[in-house]
A and B are shown apart, each in its own frame.
Chain A
């Protein structure tokens, strides 16, 4: 039975080596490394075959032992050859040649029985050898060759700057250690009788095969890490198991037979319960102790995933991420670039380890950026050095890479777009970045990209909000946003002004707090928008908002979670429209009245009084008077139009206002006599001259005094006074005539405005005079005021500043004639 078990190991090894040899042959033997590996496999096949046959044919054990020794002696030579090929070494050819010579000698002598002189099977089924005189020489050949192979591999490990290469070497080194351990079992008493060395070689062959064919798919660290993970709990549980059994037997001496099975099941159950938490804790402990960098990187990821997404300040975020990476991975230099949206240029957003004043940016067509955008994986400096696409790099760009000493470029990709990159320089230890670290960096980059994107979006939202607030603040139109429950959530200043409510009175309130019930009625713009879900307007509505009813132009637009009510107060525009209509009516009326007289008198002249020179003369005087009236109306209209449009160019001179008033009043004496009104002048002699337009000021005096005469009753009195007050010249025209009703006073200076009372009293006029006066006074930067009581009389006070008279007008006034 023991022989069966002992022969299984070489049998498995034989099968394994044969399979590997087949695979190696299938992969082709053109490469030196494959050829030498094939030779190594052949040596191991011979070794395993010999070992197997010793158990299978004990009668010819000595012969099969010699076969086995042929393989054993060839193995270190083949392995050395493989290591040379594996490392691409041409050196140490002499070592190889010397080893070939030694092997040839040993091979020959071993067949003559100088290595093993006899072999026999013990009672317990184990094979024992009687070693020959050549054995020490064999050891002198065998061990140095394997040790030298190990040295070469260690050299390679030290010299290589490439992680993959180092990984490969680690596999082979590990295999070599296993060979040594296996070989030393031959020296450990009874253990030497077991084929542990064959098994160890089989494991080594598997590792080498893996290193050759699949080395780039598995990290040796991960193998070691997992190995430790399962080994440590196994030891702990094994020791625990042993102690429990020992305790049970020692203390109670009751455990025997089936009771051992019960104790075993109990221990197994405890082990099963303990396994998972123990495994997790062990993993943590192993990582903390043996894989510190991995452990730290994991912690860094946890920290950043907790904090990065909550930081919305881009500058703070980029610095935080870079600091974490640099400090966790112990990197000498690191730069974080972020893409500028408009130009596509990548700007340096944060850096560590470079001079503060450094300026590096990467153009949108930078080959590294294009590569990262299309591959979205880590790019190494080595790849840049060997990939033809990077021949497009400019000398300056290469200088920048050299300056940053970048070893890795990690892309930051969000929504399939490269938004930034991490350029990481060498580690302080000088070690390369491990695959684990690259994995961590990729995970980190994904997190960073999302965090950066969030920060960007936040910044964008802030800018958008600021922009929207400015628009809302400055818009002439009122804007109110309501949510789906018709609660007001936004109110702009124009809306406050139109509705007459402060924002704090409206926010959070129902819409009817701002608008009357009609706004909510069926057919209203808001109602229609809610019903149809589409934009409505702008529609003219008359609503009672603010003080009194107002004409509003209202539009309603459904937005994401509510409605935007956009409205403009067009009350004044409507009034202007109405006024325009009145003006046309008034002008027509005012022109038609004298025209009717002219036409009437002209008909009378032609039909009835053609032979009556007296009547003819009287009628012609009337016609002339009415024509003059029409002329005045037209002149007043034109003057007013010119004044309002700002096209009037005043002729400035220093005027003696006392003389001007006297002269004007003199021209009105006839009218005053006819009306039976007395004009009293209160004009001082020491007034300063006024810098103004004579024609305009004459018009002011004429209109004010003429109106005073017109609206005075017979026997009435008109007082015209001039005086200086507070740097202004004041003209007062006072009468004791009809007086003006209070409600008419605000409209006195509106063109064509004539009160119903005046109209009914049959007092003629165009409604242009006072409008003209106001324009003329304002053109002199003056002010006109009215005080009046019905039945008592009126007083018009004109104040003309002496300093600022006739200064340029600040604005062009609106006019109904424009």
Chain B
């Protein structure tokens, strides 16, 4: 029941476009909760009639949100795995329109059925995010029919590819490369082709992994643009663009940067490193990256920043939201039989971390599904921008949390990012994990640096930085009189060698890089081996 955005733009009804796609930021918490509650009750009726729902809810369909939270147990993917296959579609609440899978970081794919409505919503959420990524104030709609979108998302059945399909149905972006072209390309080929073609087409909006943007920016900054000469670069428009970029960079007295070539209206990024790299992306691309929070189970985009590009705000109609407070999560960790209590969006408090629990709406399969993602609410309302909803930031994966010696101030991925970043050490990449040394737990950082620094000095600086960021870390040292940090410097090129080795082994996209948090013994052994050989 949505009006096509392109039609609205043609009619000059930009305010209607804003209202339809970004109007959720005008909602109050009670209005947000009303949407959540109504859609949940509708969903429960539908799930209750399905075989899967009968299994998960034990034949009882809750009539209220409270009853639902009290009677339906929390679930994980293993609860669904036996039923989420195409030959068991009849067990699902609604017939899937498409199947999507995750990037499979843990080694196996998680398949998720998308109903027609979820598929539509997936595309709409991206339009919302792009609109917000281009806006600098409320109501500013800079999206135009035929805008050029450069992306490096993989093709379907990856969830991001499915989303692009939906997006293409919803809005006439000029996709660079086209979705058909993209389906045949590897990640690197796609990347290379997209930016070569973008020299001709220009870039209006960009959807990318932050690190790719940084990498490209660095290559420009170092004047080492090794992009091979292609027919696209001989196009008059590309020559004009390159000439213009050259003039701009010369006038600024620096190497040519992406922002000299392209006037990008908005950049959409996801992942925990977005906020860390925010300034660098802005410096290279001339636009502040717009962060989104997404996952396959959420119908891809679950939350997005507003035009101020601070905290992320949830959409009200894609999933029903519950949050496990950190203390409840810890209690659940200690006692596997314990069912952690959840709070709703109107019950969260700022500063605290919560594990996200979702229930699919629009006929999706998940009921009280633990996302294993930790969120931190940064504000309950944004007075400056007059947004009356809680905003949050991603605090990493619960699997990735490191808990040392019973000190419950768990260390998460962004915390390590910030600690290393704050040291000022010019580094390439890192991994960290908890190890037991001499009978005690330690935090072991494996760091590849780009400058000449000793392991001791690097360890001292990271340690001090961590102490400043995390009071529990500092307390632990003060009380136990041990420094819980070990740091191993890896030789330059170690991570790149790892990347190449994994690529050569035919690893999936999600396994080309080692996970930052808690890599397994094999990964650490590989890194150490490669460090010695490079």
Q: Which residue numbers of A lie inside 8 Å of B, CB to CB?
A: 33, 86-90, 156, 160, 162, 165, 168, 365, 367, 382, 384-389, 391-396, 398
The proximity string for B residues 17-34 relative to A, scoring 1 for CB distances below 8 Å and 0 otherwise, is: 001100110110001001
Task: Please give, as numbers and ranges, the residues of chain B lying within 8 Å of A386 by CB-CB distance.
Answer: 2-3, 16, 19-20, 23
> Which A residues lie within 8 Å of B145 (CB)?
88, 90
Q: Which of A165, A391, A398 has most chain B Cβ within 10 Å?
A: A391
What are 12 A-B residue pairs whose CB atoms fall within 8 Å in the complex? A87-B10, A156-B11, A160-B11, A382-B3, A385-B3, A388-B19, A388-B31, A389-B27, A389-B31, A389-B34, A394-B38, A398-B1
> Does A391 lie within 8 Å of B144, measured CB to CB?
no
With known contacts A386-B2, A392-B39, A395-B42, A87–B12 Cβ distance under 8 A: yes
Chain A residue at smallest Cβ distance from B37: A392
Interface 0/1 of B145-176, CB less than 8 Å to A: 11000000000000000000000000000000
Contacts of B3 in A (CB 8 A): 382, 385-386
What residue in chain A is nearest B141 (Cβ atoms)? A31
Give 10 closest A-B pairs by Cβ, nearest first. Answer: A386-B20, A88-B10, A391-B317, A392-B35, A388-B23, A392-B38, A394-B42, A388-B24, A165-B11, A386-B19
B13 CB, nearest partner CB in chain A, Å: 7
Q: A87-B12, A162-B11, A386-B19 are in contact. Are A391 and B316 (CB under 8 A)?
A: yes
| Interface flags, B468-492, vs A, CB<8A=1, else 0 | 0000000000000000000000000
Asked if B528 lies at the interface with its beta carbon under 8 angstroms from chain A, I say no
Contact of A385 among B1, B11, B38 (CB under 8 A): B1
Contacts of B317 in A (CB 8 A): 391-392
- With beta carbons under 8 angstroms apart, the residue of B1, B2, B11, B38 that contacts A88 is B11
A537 to chain B, nearest CB (A): 51
Closest partner residue, chain A, to B19 (CB atom):
A386
Cβ-closest chain A residue relative to B363: A395
Nearest CB on A from B315, distance (A) = 9
The digit string for B418-445, where 1 denotes a CB below 8 A from any CB of A, is 0000000000000000000000000000
Complex-state Cα separation, A88 to B145, whole angstroms: 8
Residues of B within 8 A of A392 (CB): 34-35, 38-39, 317
The CA-CA distance from A86 to B9 in the complex, in Å, is 10
What 1/0 flags go to B103-117 for Cβ under 8 Å of A? 000000000000000
A465 to B35, CA, bound (A): 44
A residues in contact with B38, CB < 8 Å: 365, 367, 392-394
B residues touching A (Cβ–Cβ < 8 Å)? 1-3, 9-13, 16, 19-20, 23-24, 26-27, 31, 34-35, 38-39, 42, 144-146, 316-317
Question: In the complex, what distance in Å separates the CA atom of A86 from the CA atom of B35?
Answer: 36
Q: Which residues of A contact B27 (CB under 8 A)?
A: 388-389
Q: Looking at the assembled complex, report how far the CB atom of A393 sits from the nearest CB atom of chain B, in whole angstroms.
A: 8
C-alpha spacing A386/B128, complex, angstroms: 12
CB distance from A414 to the nearest CB of B (A): 25
Give chain A nearest CB distance to B501 CB in angstroms.
Answer: 47
Bound-complex Cα distance A386 to B9 (A): 13
Output the least CB separation between A373 and chain B (Å): 14
With A385-B2, A388-B316, A392-B38 given, is the CB distance from A88 to B12 under 8 Å?
yes
A585 CA to B100 CA, complexed, in Å: 101
Neighbouring B residues of A367 by C-beta, 8 Å: 34, 38
Q: Which residue of A lies closest to B15 (CB)?
A: A386
Chain B residues with CB under 8 A of A395:
42
CB nearest neighbor in A for B2: A385
B6: nearest chain-A partner, CB-CB: A88
Measured between beta carbons, the chain B residues less than 8 angstroms from A33 are: 12
Instruction: Report the bound CA distance from A398 to B10 in whole Å.
Output: 26
- CB atoms of B12 and A387 under 8 A apart: no
Nearest Cβ on chain B to A684's Cβ, whole angstroms:
81
Of A382, A388, A391, A396, which one neighbours B26 at CB under 8 angstroms?
A388
Q: Given A89-B10, A394-B38, A394-B42, do A387 and B1 touch, yes or no (CB 8 Å)?
A: no
Alpha-carbon distance between A674 and B16 when the two chains are bound, in angstroms: 120
Distance of A99 Cα from B146 Cα, bound (Å): 23
Closest CB in chain B relative to A412 CB, distance in Å: 23
- Min CB gap A105→B, angstroms: 23
| Complex contacts, A162 vs chain B, CB 8 Å | 11, 13
Q: How far does the Cβ of B145 sit from chain A's closest Cβ, in whole Å?
A: 6
Besides the known contacts A386-B2, A392-B317, A398-B1, 13 further A-B residue pairs in the complex with CB atoms under 8 A apart: A87-B10, A88-B10, A88-B11, A365-B34, A367-B34, A382-B3, A385-B1, A386-B20, A388-B24, A388-B35, A389-B31, A392-B34, A394-B39
Q: Residues of B contacting A156 with CB < 8 Å?
A: 11
Q: Which residues does chain A contribute within 8 Å of B12, judged by CB atoms?
A: 33, 86-88, 165, 168
- Complex: chain B residue closest to A89, CB-CB: B10
Least CB distance from A157 to B in Å reads 11
Alpha-carbon separation in the docked complex, A33 to B141 (Å) = 13
The residue in chain B whose Cβ has the minimal distance to the Cβ of A382 is B3
Known interface pairs A88-B145, A90-B144, A392-B39; A384-B1 also in contact (CB < 8 Å): yes
* Minimum C-beta distance from A295 to chain B (A): 30
The residue among A367, A382, A389 with the most chain B CB atoms within 10 A of its own CB is A389
- Residues of A near B10 (CB, < 8 A) are 87-89
Cα-based distance from A395 to B35 in the complex (angstroms): 13
Of all chain A residues, the one with the shortest Cβ separation from B316 is A391
Q: A residues within 8 A CB of B13? A: 162, 165
A385-B20 CB under 8 A given contacts A90-B145, A391-B35: yes
Measured CA separation A210–B218 after assembly (Å): 50
- Separation in Å of the B86 CB from the closest CB of chain A? 24
A428 to B31: give the CA distance in the assembly, Å. 36
CB nearest neighbor in A for B27 = A388
- The reply to whether A90 and B20 contact each other, CB–CB distance below 8 Å, is no
Which residue of B has the minimal Cβ distance to A366?
B38
Report the nearest A residue to B45, measured CB to CB: A394
Complex Cα gap A33–B1 (Å): 29
Per the bound structure, the CA–CA distance linking A88 and B3 in Å amounts to 16
Contacts of B34 in A (CB 8 A): 365, 367, 389, 392
What's the nearest-Cβ distance from chain A to residue B53, in Å?
A: 16
Least distance between A352 CB and chain B CB atoms (Å): 24
CB-based contact A387/B42 at 8 Å:
no
CB distance from A457 to the nearest CB of B (A): 33
Cα-based distance from A339 to B254 in the complex (angstroms): 71
Could you tell me the distance in whole angstroms from the C-beta of A612 to the nearest C-beta in chain B?
98
> Which residues of A have CB within 8 Å of B26?
388
Within the complex, the shortest CB–CB distance from B123 to chain A, in Å, comes to 15
- State how many angstroms separate the Cβ of A217 from the closest Cβ of chain B: 15
Q: Which residues of the partner chain A approach B20 to less than 8 Å between Cβ atoms?
A: 385-388
Distance in Å from the Cβ of A425 to the closest Cβ of chain B?
16
| Chain B residues within an 8 Å CB radius of A89 | 10
Residue of A at shortest CB range from B16?
Answer: A386
> In the docked arrangement, what's the CA distance between A382 and B11, Å?
14
For the complex, what is the distance from the CA of A391 to the CA of B3, rounded to whole Å? 13
Assembly CA distance A389 to B23 (angstroms): 9
- Among A88, A89, A90, A388, find the residue whose CB has the most chain B CB atoms closer than 10 A: A388
In the bound complex, CA of A33 to CA of B10 (Å): 12
Distance from A528 Cβ to chain B, minimum over Cβ atoms (Å): 56
Q: In the bound complex, what is the Cα–Cα distance between A382 and B8 (angstroms)? A: 11
| A398 and B34 alpha carbons, distance in the complex (Å) | 17
In the complex, how many angstroms separate the beta carbon of B506 from the nearest chain A beta carbon?
A: 43
Q: What residue in chain A is nearest B142 (Cβ atoms)?
A: A30
A666 CA to B529 CA, complexed, in Å: 136
Given A88-B11, A90-B144, A398-B1: A389 and B35 within 8 A (CB)? Answer: yes
Residue of A nearest to B11 (CB): A165
Residues of chain A lying within 8 A (CB to CB) of residue B1: 384-385, 393, 398
Residue contact A387 to B35, C-beta cutoff 8 Å? no
In the complex, chain A residues whose CB is within 8 Å of the CB of B11 = 87-88, 156, 160, 162, 165
Shortest C-beta distance, B219 to chain A (Å), equals 33
A44-B106 Cα distance, complex, nearest whole Å: 67
User: Roughly how many angstroms separate A791 CA and B310 CA in the complex, as a whole number?
Assistant: 120
Q: Which residue of B lies closest to A384 (CB)?
A: B1
A258 to B3, CA, bound (A): 69
A408 vs B31: C-alpha distance when bound (angstroms): 23
